[in-house]
Amino acid sequence: MKRANVSACLGVFLLFFAMSLPGRAQSWSFTGSMQQARMYFTATLLNNGQVLVVGGTYRGTFVQYGLTSAELYNPASGTFSTTGSLNTGRYGHSATLLNNGKVLIAGGTNSTTGALSSAELYDPVAGTFSMTGSLSCACGFSATLLANGMVLFTGGINGSTALTTAELYNPTTGTFGLTGNLNVARAGPSSTLLGNGKVLVAGGVYYTGTSPNLVPNYLASAELYDPTTGTFTLTGSLNTARTSETTTLLPNGNVLLAGGQNAGANGGYLSSAELYNPATGKFTNTGSLNTPRILHTAHLLSSGKVLIVAGNHFGPLASTELYDPASGTFSNAASLNTPRQGHASALLTNGQVLAAGGNNARGGKTGWLASAELYH
């Protein structure tokens, strides 16, 4: 970093030198590895700056779905250490940091009992998990922490039936209760807490036909949940129907929805992105990703840009991209050292991004990752 007393000439030289070396301005470097290789897990930044890694799946010489193990990543030491274990192994669950500092782990599935309606609380002080109330819907929902401290669970799927139900978790009572219904049944929707306290629920999918010939129908509709009334109202529609997109609340109050999948050409992988404006209730197209992707993650950086990390496009990706709200464009960023899909990532308090686990193979019994990397 340039010191205050370094001459302007030398400063310009150092800047030119740094820009002339690929990866110096931004890069990914390996950090400590997890104790357990896993994918489809959650990574949650705790109030103490550590990252809680929970559950997921692992496939070695045998299939072991629904891991009970959990780990803590310490940015100071760059290492992972084991912590308490889940009471029920699960993957595809949600993880929400509550206002009291505990983490709510809800739903998901495993290979033994299938979809799980149970929920657990992780206590960072004790390092243990304890059971709490149960959901009505077990999987395919979205989870959002509300301004009042409750957690909203929206939509989901029961067998092959998409749901209109929504429910609230009350940390004070440790119970779930139903709230107003969605106007459109949807599984796999995205949800984002807006600056006005309402929640944007967008996209998703529902199925028609009968098993095993189910046909997915991708949704462009979107709704707003009002915590004061407990009701959903329709808002503007997406320009492109999608599910499995990432959503990021921008500093100006708009929401960036990027990538995802629908029934379109080339496997339905999407490079398109849209902005939702809460003031107008409308979606507008913005720049396109350089690589279509699903199973990616997204984080708002201190620069105001959004980092899109890895994912899948006919195979695991190592590429990452930066979205610039000022120009409305995506640019390629530094690539990961290892392609990853089904990974988890977390924005650390020091501004770095941790990406861990996932899978880097197209199939088979290999490719599950324990490695982790940091974005600088």
The residue to which tokens 């989870």 are assigned? 143
- How many angstroms separate the CA atoms of 254 and 11, rounded? 37
- How many angstroms separate the CA atoms of 40 and 182, rounded? 26
- How many angstroms separate the CA atoms of 340 and 315, rounded? 9
- Is pLDDT of 16 > 50? no
Least confident of 60-69, 119-128, 198-207, 324-333: 60-69
* Whole-number pLDDT of residue 17: 28
- How many angstroms separate the CA atoms of 237 and 186, rounded? 14
Residue 1 binned pLDDT confidence (cut-offs 50, 70, 90) = very low
227 and 282 Cβ atoms separated by less than 8 Å? no
Average pLDDT estimate for 357-373: 83
* Whole-number pLDDT of residue 2: 36
Residue of 331, 354, 355, 323 lying closest to 342 (CA atoms): 355
Global confidence as pTM:
0.92
* Whole-number pLDDT of residue 63: 56
Give the single-character DSSP code of 17. Answer: H
Q: Where are the alpha helices (DSSP H) in the chain?
A: 8-20
Q: Max alpha carbon distance in the chain (Å)?
A: 73
- How many angstroms separate the CA atoms of 325 and 322, rounded? 10
DSSP sequence for 37-104: --BS-EEEE-TTS-EEEE--BEESSSEE-S---EEEEETTTTEEEE-PPPSS--BS-EEEE-TTS-EE
* Whole-number pLDDT of residue 10: 29
How far from the centroid of its chain's Cα atoms is residue 197's Cα? 20
